[in-house]
A and B are shown apart, each in its own frame.
Chain A
């Protein structure tokens, strides 16, 4: 009953963001060693504590092994064949947008992220990161009125070194894992957010990451701190040009939530995923972790993962404060030869902590898509609860979906629920919708967005429609 050609035709559409910006770039030489780490630090004019942080991480990294437990097979990465720092050749960070190279503004325009005053998104502040540096951050002054700090991490190191020093590496220690250690040694730029006590951030914050160089690794670092009673919603988006080589992306994101605060972190990841033969694409190895340090604090991760050749990513929550809440809502779409191994860890340490996991995996083409998650209830986490739901959808008959839920409980007075399901878009479902006048592309898109609704409902409103569109685009090309 299958006619894979039909489905194939629809899921194989060109990548819209594959262009390269022609701009002069300053790059350092390939490879990594202590001198390179020192060079990056000096290029960024960093204080001593950070250089020491980097060197310690680098030495730790040398002792670590690349993890191989995920359902991901890829050729060995030659870490000496990567450029660890690249920046568009503009002298210093500009004070106003008028001074930013128009080519860069144009690039972000083309990506749908207009930065200049007239066109920029209302009520969303954007930090635009191009290769290793932040180009511009909008609405900074308006945010400053509320005491909110939103800037690139490089700027934060200079302007607020004591905050950075206090929090950096406290959730993801430098030796946490191979990729986190590498990131800690060579991280380039990323965003820093600080919401002071009692402040509800008045607008959505957003970072947009753009890889432009083909041979450069991207190592961004994001740090978000919400003080007591503060709240913030943050979104990151990412794209990259099409190259026939693989580009390494190893980011670290740390979230810290103090008493009664809440952080909502949403990701729309659309790195270039390689072509239909699996040539090229981003290797995406990301460590994201939030710590609910305070009582009644809340951290919520939402992610829509559609890009990258390889995705290795487990946004997690350490629920340390009593009655703290962790959430993970994920849609991961893989197509062609993409491989994704993604999920979450919910570590319940405090009393009466709660976590919710909703994961939706969609596999098309010959791709493979795994959910891997850990729910751990510590011995003191009396009355803690977890609910997990992992659903997989298969499109066509050559895609694979796996679910690896790990549950460890040291506390009898805790409740853990896990539900899983697998479904498949059948030719008969498609035909049913078609026989009612609904085109094949729209039919698939309706079914996929129906499948993902629980997760899309969690995204900030401005981006829910965007995510829906992105999935439609991945699956069909021309919606929107």
Chain B
């Protein structure tokens, strides 16, 4: 929901970033306030995923200009784990498999790292099991997931649900979901979308990165941004996504009135 008086959580200004000398973000601006859901759309290669990785702090991406503030603090100076602990969450497009590391142990260590940061007490194995069993319901996952290695041998849908489970446990202030809808059948998509809606509240914000309207049928964004050439070229309400679905991205290319969001 849009509330003019809400706190600004994320403020990106004039962000330029490159990977292996290849410039990808070229002057991106974005402001996200508490309670809002934003969708970022755009073609492959427009820089959507780069944006999410830069916010989360992936070492392969170098920021050469601009700034990213999270609750007024300079995010770019922080290690990725610090960003996570203070409330940034990136739901990966392709969650990686980590053989040998138990999912349960991983979730517990991650949850406790976040809890410590926000001044909550550490959960021991038993308390954590109670919490995780409760949160499993959000994504309708079977507890047997917990005994496996992180993402190892998970189907595409299971991996994405595991991402949302992590989000439910970490209770981030801002969740960036990078193509969480890709590779999901319609039932899994609904489960994931339901989870995201359930977790959204007036103190946090969600940034959905997606190609398609179909996720936005399940989660209604307050803002839709269209990226092209490494910046946001157009911003509108949820109707913009419907327009895009109908007219395709060529409609953006031909539109002379693309504006930048400040």
Prevailing SS type, chain A contact patch:
helix
Q: Given A432-B92, A446-B106, check contact A438 B81 (CB 8 Å).
A: yes
Q: Assess the B98–A433 pair: CB atoms within 8 A.
A: yes
Residues of B within 8 A of A450 (CB): 98-102, 149
Tell whether A437 is near chain B: CB-to-CB under 8 Å: yes
Q: Given A3-B59, A431-B58, check contact A436 B106 (CB 8 Å).
A: yes
Contact mask for chain B residues 66-86; partner A; CB cutoff 8 A; 1 contact, 0 none: 000000000000011101110
Minimum distance in angstroms from B127 CB to a CB of chain A: 18
Residues of A within 8 A of B166 (CB): 436
Q: Assess the B110–A423 pair: CB atoms within 8 A.
A: no
Residues of A within 8 A of B83 (CB): 435
Tell whether A429 is near chain B: CB-to-CB under 8 Å: yes
Q: Assess the A453–B100 pair: CB atoms within 8 A.
A: yes
Among B57, B84, B100, B117, the residue within 8 A (CB) of A436 is B84
CA of A433 to CA of B109, assembled, Å: 10
Count contacts on A: residues with CB < 8 A to the other chain.
Answer: 25
Q: Given A438-B81, A439-B81, check contact A451 B100 (CB 8 Å).
A: yes
Minimum distance in angstroms from B105 CB to a CB of chain A: 8
Which of B92, B96, B100, B170: most chain A Cβ within 10 A?
B100
| Least CB separation from A443: chain B residue | B81
Minimum distance in angstroms from B10 CB to a CB of chain A: 16
Q: Assess the B59–A437 pair: CB atoms within 8 A.
A: no
Minimum distance in angstroms from A406 CB to a CB of chain B: 27
CA of A446 to CA of B110, assembled, Å: 12
A406-452: which residues lie under 8 A (CB-CB) from chain B?
Answer: 423, 426-429, 431-440, 442, 446-447, 449-451
Residues of A within 8 A of B56 (CB): 431, 435
Q: Assess the B99–A437 pair: CB atoms within 8 A.
A: no
Residues of A within 8 A of B37 (CB): none
Q: Given A434-B81, A438-B81, A438-B109, check contact A423 B99 (CB 8 Å).
A: yes
Q: Assess the A451–B60 pair: CB atoms within 8 A.
A: no
Minimum distance in angstroms from A357 CB to a CB of chain B: 19
CA of A438 to CA of B79, assembled, Å: 10
Minimum distance in angstroms from B32 CB to a CB of chain A: 18
Tell whether A461 is near chain B: CB-to-CB under 8 Å: no
Tell whether A6 is near chain B: CB-to-CB under 8 Å: yes
Residues of B within 8 A of A3 (CB): 59-60
CA of A447 to CA of B85, assembled, Å: 20
Tell whether A1 is near chain B: CB-to-CB under 8 Å: yes
A108-139: which residues lie under 8 A (CB-CB) from chain B?
Answer: none
Residues of A within 8 A of B106 (CB): 433, 436, 438, 446
CA of A431 to CA of B149, assembled, Å: 17
Minimum distance in angstroms from A435 CB to a CB of chain B: 5
Residues of A within 8 A of B85 (CB): 437
Minimum distance in angstroms from A98 CB to a CB of chain B: 43
Among B84, B99, B102, the residue within 8 A (CB) of A451 is B99
Minimum distance in angstroms from A350 CB to a CB of chain B: 35
Contact mask for chain A residues 5-46; partner B; CB cutoff 8 A; 1 contact, 0 none: 010000000000000000000000000000000000000000
Q: Assess the A436–B101 pair: CB atoms within 8 A.
A: no
Q: Assess the A431–B59 pair: CB atoms within 8 A.
A: yes
Contact mask for chain B residues 90-108; partner A; CB cutoff 8 A; 1 contact, 0 none: 1010011011111001100
Q: Given A6-B59, A446-B106, check contact A436 B170 (CB 8 Å).
A: yes
Q: Assess the A447–B79 pair: CB atoms within 8 A.
A: no
Among B84, B92, B98, the residue within 8 A (CB) of A434 is B84
Residues of A within 8 A of B98 (CB): 429, 432-433, 447, 450
Minimum distance in angstroms from B188 CB to a CB of chain A: 21
Residues of B within 8 A of A434 (CB): 57, 79-81, 84
Query: Which 4 pairs between the two chains have the least Cβ-Cβ distance?
Result: A450-B100, A437-B113, A436-B110, A437-B84
Beyond the given A432-B98, A432-B150, A438-B81, please list 17 additional residue pairs across the A-B interface where CB-CB is below 8 A: A3-B60, A429-B96, A429-B98, A431-B58, A431-B59, A432-B96, A435-B57, A435-B81, A437-B84, A437-B113, A438-B106, A438-B110, A442-B109, A446-B101, A446-B106, A450-B149, A451-B99
| A–B Cβ pairs within 8 angstroms, 25 of them | A3-B59, A3-B60, A6-B59, A429-B96, A431-B56, A431-B80, A432-B96, A433-B101, A433-B106, A433-B110, A434-B79, A434-B84, A435-B56, A435-B92, A436-B106, A436-B113, A436-B170, A438-B106, A439-B81, A440-B79, A446-B106, A450-B101, A450-B149, A451-B100, A453-B100
